[in-house]
Amino acid sequence: MKSTKSNKNIHAALDIGNSKISCMIAQGASNNSVQIKVLGFGQHVSMGLTQGKVTDLSKLSEAIAKAVEHAERMAGFPIENINCSINGGKPITKVSKNTVTIKSSEILNEDLNKVVKYDKNLNLENYLLLNRNVIRFLIDNNFEVENPVGLKSKSLSVEMNNIFVNKDVISNITKTIELCHLSVKNFFITPEVSGIATMIREERENGAIVIDIGANITSIGIYLKNKLIFSDSIPIGGIHVTSDIVKGLGTESNEAEKIKIMHGSVESNELDNFEKIDITIISESGELIPHKIPRSMLTAIIKPRVEEIFEIIHQRLKKVDPEITYINRLILTGGTSNLPGISNLAKKLFECNVRIGKPLGLIGVPDIAQSPTFSCLSGLILKSFQEKPNSFLKTFKTEFNSKLHEIKSWFQENL
């Protein structure tokens, strides 16, 4: 296979989920940065990962390698670095506000650099600063401006969104990816990239909420002024719906997942009591036997769990800044958002406009990857074309290598 070095404007993404690992390789048109064409796609069953945390380096690296290999084979060349999702260890977003007094007659670049400087008081124990985004600039009397440089004002304030991730989680994910002879360009949290993939710019500008219901974790993000200003996650997802079906019907996990995908719904009608579904259950003797159940029975199992997910998220959002509660658009994405009737259920609880978010903005996407299940992966590709390699990774690796050198020196001196 030819090397990526001969291919300009190539980016690759890796979504490490609890149920699947997926990889995508794309290229931006040389004369049109808006057009991004997918060249390769691959996926593999996730192994060695629970709740977004690595439990087996070897198994997870093997799953990653196979997903990447499929994408490379389709693209026709190998990749060397990748942009990766991170959702384990409960990523945290904190909004900070800094203010400086303007000493000259107008705001200078030096004032701008000073006000956006990172506040070390924001440090969180065992957490690493992943990214910082300017939400808005404010001058005298909290008047919002787009670009403060050159304006007359006595003060300059900036509100920034700071994204923190668990050091151990990111260290283990990085180590696993490096076992596949790949390097990480950037990490992005799930709600940030899912929002980019499923929202149009007007939604991100005017304010919208994205809920990505993954296998084990449901991620929540709020966009305003085209920036992620809030994120959260809960340790409940599609796997828990499947588990409820296993317990409720007495069937195997694979069978329960198949039933959920083929017949699952959160909305019932009068005919559901008469429509029968063929399933396989485990008998008292441990044998698998065919059985029939009314579709309404399956809905009665699925609906309470989805309601629980929405109710927990609703309570979390009520604690956010009151200004955010006026946002009246909600985008549901992730595999579980494929359940029929789920948008109507969300609409009743959140009392706002709700739609299902599918990946937008890419061309040449394989049919299988055009569903909400792959919103995070598509968002990683779109985000990677906007970003430069993150300096935090260099800092993190430098700190890690320094600590490793100290440990080696101690052993050499004391043993």
At residue 118, the pLDDT reads 75
pLDDT at residue number 268: 87
Residue 47: Cβ-neighbour burial (10 angstroms; 0-12, 13-18, 19+): middle
Of residues 271, 268, 270, the one with CA closest to residue 298: 268
pLDDT, position 258: 95
Q: Note whether 339 and 302 are within 8 A (CB).
A: yes
Distance CA 377, CA 16 (A): 9
Q: What is the pLDDT of residue 412?
A: 47
pLDDT at 366: 94
At 399, the pLDDT band (50, 70, 90 cuts) reads very low
Q: What is the mean pLDDT of residues 83-95?
A: 91
| Tens digit of each residue's pLDDT (9 = 90 or more) over 296-337 | 999 999 999 999 999 999 998 888 765 565 788 999 999 999
d(CA 360, CA 378): 8
Quick one: pLDDT at residue 323? 59
The CB density around residue 95, as the number of other CB atoms within 10 Å, is 12
**pLDDT value at 394 more than 50:** no
H-helix or E-strand containing 72?
helix 57-75
Provide the 3-class DSSP secondary structure of residue 221.
strand
> Which pLDDT score, from 0 to 100, does residue 375 have?
97
Q: Is the pLDDT of residue 79 over 60?
A: yes
Give residue-wise pLDDT tens across range 121-171.
788 889 999 988 888 899 988 899 999 999 999 999 999 989 999 999 999
Using CA atoms, how far apart are residues 252 and 250, in angstroms rounded to an integer? 7
Query: What pLDDT is attached to residue 293?
Result: 94
pLDDT at site 259: 95
DSSP string covering 277-319, please?
EEEEEE-TTS-EEEEEEEHHHHHHHHHHHHHHHHHHHHHHHHT
Residue 392 has pLDDT above 70, yes or no: no
> What contacts 84, CB < 8 A, 6 or more positions away?
13, 14, 15, 16, 173, 177, 184, 186, 187, 188, 380
Sign, CA dihedral 389-370-351-309, equals negative
Q: Taking the alpha carbons of 142, 148, 150, 154 in that order, is the dihedral positive or negative?
A: positive
pLDDT of residue 388: 60
Query: Which tens digits make up the pLDDT trace of 9-44?
Result: 899 999 999 999 999 999 987 555 568 999 999 999
* Interval 395-402 mean pLDDT: 46
Amino acid 384: pLDDT: 92
316 CB-near residues (< 8 Å, 6+ apart): 220, 232, 234
pTM over 0.75: yes
| pLDDT value, residue 406 | 47
Across the chain, what does the average pLDDT equal? Answer: 88
| 414 φψ region: left (φ > 0), alpha (ψ -120 to 50), beta (else) | alpha
Phi and psi at residue 162, to the nearest 5°: -110, 120
Kindly report, residue by residue over 174-204, the tens digit of the pLDDT. 999 999 999 999 999 999 999 999 999 999 9
Compute φ and ψ for 225, nearest 5 degrees.
55, 40
pLDDT reading at 411 higher than 70: no
Cα dihedral 81, 87, 89, 95, rounded to 10, equals: 100
Interval 217-248: pLDDT, tens: 999 999 988 889 899 999 999 999 999 999 99
Q: Please report the domains of the chain, with CATH numbers, ordered by start residue.
A: 92-167 (3.30.1490.110), 238-302 (3.30.420.40)
How much is the pLDDT for 121?
77
- Percentage with pLDDT > 90 across the chain: 72
What gap in Å lies between CA 140 and CA 55, rounded to an integer?
51
Q: What are phi and psi of 321, to 5 degrees?
A: -45, 130
Q: What's residue 405's pLDDT?
A: 44
> What pLDDT score was predicted for residue 7?
53
